[in-house]
Amino acid sequence: MPNANIIVLTAPSGAGKTTIAHRVMDAMPEMQFSVSATTRPPRDDETDGEDYHFLSVDEFEQRIDNGDLLEYEEVYPDRLYGTLRSEVETKSDAGPVLLDIDVEGALNVKKIYGDDALVLFIAPPSKEALRRRLQKRGTEDPEALADRLGRADRELDRADDFDAVVVNDDLDPAVEETLTRIRQFLQS
Ligand code: 5GP
């Protein structure tokens, strides 16, 4: 693997990591965003190629067969998500690369990149806070919401496996802490 600076933000769904990822991108113009591939349908405010590369299951499986994915997971039933090698390898020439991916994926990236990757776990202040946030977001039907909460429970138990944990109680301080940790890592 090339000597890349990889920053991975991971968290249970609803912990606010995508909001933090957007804020990091705004604050650090040199940061490159790894646009993941997924088979889930786009939400109303999402753009193909910017938020995700939205693929059919067949297209996704073809990319797996071609060896195009650095890691991938069936994050929810029938919903595949993965990091494209080309995103990380091409973009790392231009600057550090930010990945916003699930916990298993983050651990796999850490295995591949070791000290060249900083893996930050964004934790909600409590499980109850997470439930409220997901309900308020209203993007999931009850079954999908239950799936996400079940998965979140298991992911919260793994918080110790990461380079650092940032508790997202209040957004601004959480963004500041994330930025501080990223800058320290890039200078080290
Ligand atoms: P959402 O459907 O809310 O956009 O994302 C669901 C979960 O999939 C989130 O935890 C998100 O970070 C994760 N995810 C997004 N892209 C990837 C990826 O490339 N690989 C993995 N392993 N997880 C991803």
Domain spans of the chain, in order of start: 6-187
Strand order in the sheet with 32-33: 32-33, 97-100, 6-10, 117-123, 164-167
pLDDT of residue 2: 46
pLDDT of residue 119: 97
> Mean pLDDT, the chain, as a whole number?
92
Confidence of residue 73 (pLDDT cuts 50, 70, 90): very high
Write out the two tokens for 65.
């067969």
Residue with CA nearest ligand 1 atom 11 = 101
Q: Please give the distance, rounded to the nearest whole angstrom, from the Cα atom of residue 82 to the centre of ligand 1.
A: 8
Burial class (CB in 10 A: 0-12, 13-18, 19+), 49: exposed
Q: Compute the residue count for the chain.
A: 188
Helix ranges (DSSP H) in 28-114: 57-65, 85-91, 103-113
Write out the two tokens for 41.
């349908």
**Ligand 1 first shell, C-beta below 6 A:** 13, 36, 40, 71, 73, 75, 81-83, 100-102, 104-105
* pTM of full prediction above 0.85: yes
Dihedrals φ, ψ of 84, to 5°? -80, 130
Strand order in the sheet with 52-54: 52-54, 36-38, 79-84, 69-76
CB 110: neighbour CB atoms within 10 A?
A: 20
Q: Which of 38-47, 60-69, 109-118, 152-161 has the lowest mean pLDDT?
A: 152-161
Dihedral of the CA atoms 10, 16, 22, 25 (nearest 10)? -50
Q: 83-140, pLDDT tens digit by residue?
A: 999 999 999 999 999 999 999 999 999 999 999 999 999 998 888 888 888 888 877 7
Q: How far is CA 56 from CA 10, 53, 60, 65, 80, in A?
A: 24, 10, 6, 14, 10
The fold for domain 6-187 equals Rossmann fold (3.40.50)
Q: Please give the distance, rounded to the nearest whole angstrom, from the Cα atom of residue 30 to the centre of ligand 1.
A: 23
End-to-end CA distance of the chain: 19
